[in-house]
Each structure stands twice: as structure tokens, then as C-alpha cells.
Amino acid sequence: MKLIVKAWAVLVVGFALSGVGVTSAHAGPPDVKNVAAPYVPWIRLAAGLCEQVNGPLLAAQIEQESNWNPLAVSSAGAQGISQFKPATWAKYGLDGNQNGQKNPFEPEDAILSQGHYMCVLAADLQTVPVDRVVAMLWAYNAGPLATEIANGRPPNAEADNYARRILNELVPKYRP
């Protein structure tokens, strides 16, 4: 019952954010396979926040970012399962599990925040002349400003490889 109440609260947040962006060629189902059971409801909720985000995309991103390690910390200071840098977390982090704290090391918070941030990126990058999901992935990796400045080209080789691996290798692994 507690999870249902939390899920309802998150769905209300999702409904409020659902107007962000337009349909992408990569829009798809919230359902995933090959994801540990505790993460599945959070992936589904996060995938429902906007049309450009789907379950397999979020799961693939998490594998690329942290290999599903909720305590991961990168050499660049990114934290948690979804690898948020502290400044990005301060701006976009959500209290997904409704426990009164926004914590990048809590998978429920991080996964919902990842979906929310991807929707923000989708809305903010509408004028970048490249597939919206590719632009979102570049921006999640290299930052939205670098992605805008690159104007349809990868902002750097790491961001390009990041998007290619997620879309070509990892997304199929998580598609139901």
C-alpha cells in the first residue's frame, strides 16, 4: 500500500511534467526487461514523464552511467545510480520516494530525477538540429550548453560514444 501511495504522488508529478516536449522517433513503452525488480516501478514512472523518454532508454542510461550501482561516484564527482553532478542534482533532483530528502544515492529519487531531467533537456534542446533523443543523451553526458553550441554535432567524442552505445547496444537489451 505504501508503494501505491508513493507511486500515485509521483504520477501526479509526472502528469504535471507531461506537457514537456514533442514526440520523438525513440518514444516507446515504459516497460523494461532485464532490470532488477526494485527498480522497475521507478523506471516505469520516470518513463511516463514525457514522450521522449521510455523505459529501455532510462535503463540503458543507468547501465552506462553506473552499471546499476546506487552508491557510484565518478572521478568527475557524479553521484548515484543515475550519476548526477551536485550542481545538476541541486537544480533537478526530486524526492521520488517521498521520504523528505532529495538524495542522488537513493535509486527512487535518482531514477525519477533522471527521467525529469531528460524531459527538461528534451524541451530545452528543441532547436538543436539532430534527433531529440541523441541531443538529450549528448546533453546528459556533456552538458546542455555544450550540446547547444555544437549545433547538431556531438559536443565531444565521449558524448558521441555515450549516445551511440546507449542507443545501439544497450537499449535493445532492455526492450521487452
More confident residue, 95 or 11: 95
- 98-124 average pLDDT score: 98
Instruction: Report the half-sphere exposure of 70 (CA within 13 A, side-chain side).
Output: 12
CA dist., res. 176 & res. 174, Å (int): 6
List residues bridging with 59 in a β-sheet: none
Grid coordinates representing 68 are 546499476
pLDDT in tens, 46-93: 999 999 999 999 999 999 999 999 999 999 999 999 999 999 999 999
In angstroms, rounded to a whole number, what is the distance separating the alpha carbons of residues 50 and 30? 11
Percent of the chain with pLDDT over 90: 83
- pLDDT band per the 50, 70, 90 thresholds, residue 28: low
3-state secondary structure of 108: helix
DSSP 6-43: HHHHHHHHHHHHTTSS---TT---S--SSS-GGGHHHH
Could you tell me what percent of the chain has a pLDDT over 70?
84
User: Predicted confidence band at 30 (pLDDT cuts at 50, 70, 90)?
Assistant: confident
Beta bridge partners of 84: 79
Is the pLDDT confidence value at 10 over 60? Answer: no
Say if residue 11's pLDDT is above 90: no
Q: What does the DSSP 8-state code read for residue 172? A: H
Is 121 within 8 Å of 140 (Cβ atoms)? yes
Query: Mean pLDDT, to the nearest integer, of 168-175?
Result: 97
